Homo-oligomer: A and B are copies of this chain.
Amino acid sequence: MKKFEEKTTKTTPIYDGKIVKLQVDDVMLPDGQVAKREIIKHPGAVAVIAVTDEGKLVLVEQYRKALERSIVEIPAGKLEPGEEPAMTARRELEEETGYGAHSLTYLQTFATSPGFADEVIHLYVAKDLYNIDNKAALDEDEFVELLEVSLEVAQSMVADQRIFDAKTAFAVLWLAAHLENNL
C-alpha cells in the first residue's frame, strides 16, 4: 500500500511534548516535485464501546481544551509505552467508569486525522460489565462524569452535538446496527 509514495528527503523536528511531537518532512512526490508535510506524532489510543446488560451505552463527559467545551465520549485513553491495547482498554474503562468487562472484543482500528497525524484508535467492545470495588484512580489532571444512555438518547446527543467526536459518532452508529441484532 505504497501507491503514490512520498519519499522523505529531510525531517525537521519542531516540538517534542508530553503527548504530541511535531515534525516537518520534506518529501519527493510521485512526479519528482518536492513538498513539505507537517506531521503530528501521537502514541495512539484505545476506545471502548461498553454496553450494559440493559443495552445502554456507557459514556463519559469531560472538558476538551482543544474544543474549549465539554463533550460526551466513549471511554478512551492513550497507549502507554509497551502496553498491549487490550490492557489499555481495560485500564481506561476501569479508571473512567468503574466497570470491568467479562467480555472484551477487538472491533477495528482507525486513524483519526490521516492528513496530519499518525494517531490511531483501537476500538473494543465491552459487554458483561461488572462493578470494580476499588477502582483505579483517574490521572490527576482528568475530570470526567459517567453517563449511561439508551440508543435513542445517544442519537439525540449526536443531534444536539453533546456527542461530537468521530469515535463516539461511530460508536452510536455501531450500537444502532448491533442492538437490532441483539448485539
Show the binding face of A for B, using Cβ within 8 Å: 1-6, 14-15, 17-20, 22, 24-25, 27, 29-31, 33, 35-40, 42, 45, 61-67, 69-71, 73, 76, 78, 108-119, 121, 140-141, 143-145, 158, 161-162, 164-167, 169-170, 173-174, 176-177
Contacts and interface: CB of A to CB of B under 8 A. Distances in A.
Nearest to A169: B110
A175 B113 CA distance: 21
Contacts of A33: 140-141
B112 A62 contact: no
* Dominant SS among interface residues on chain A: mixed
Contacts of A25: 65
Given A15-B15, A38-B20, A164-B109, A114 B6 contact: no
19 contacts: A2-B63, A3-B61, A4-B145, A17-B24, A20-B22, A39-B65, A40-B117, A42-B113, A66-B113, A66-B114, A71-B114, A76-B115, A108-B158, A111-B164, A112-B112, A112-B166, A113-B113, A176-B177, A177-B177
A119 B111 CA distance: 14
A160 B38 CA distance: 27
Contact of A110 (B35, B38, B165): B165
Contact of A18 (B31, B36, B45): B36
Given A25-B65, A66-B116, A177-B176, A166 B40 contact: no
> What 10 pairs between A and B have smallest CB-CB spacing?
A166-B166, A4-B63, A64-B114, A4-B143, A37-B65, A35-B141, A173-B173, A3-B70, A17-B38, A1-B69
A22 B22 contact: yes
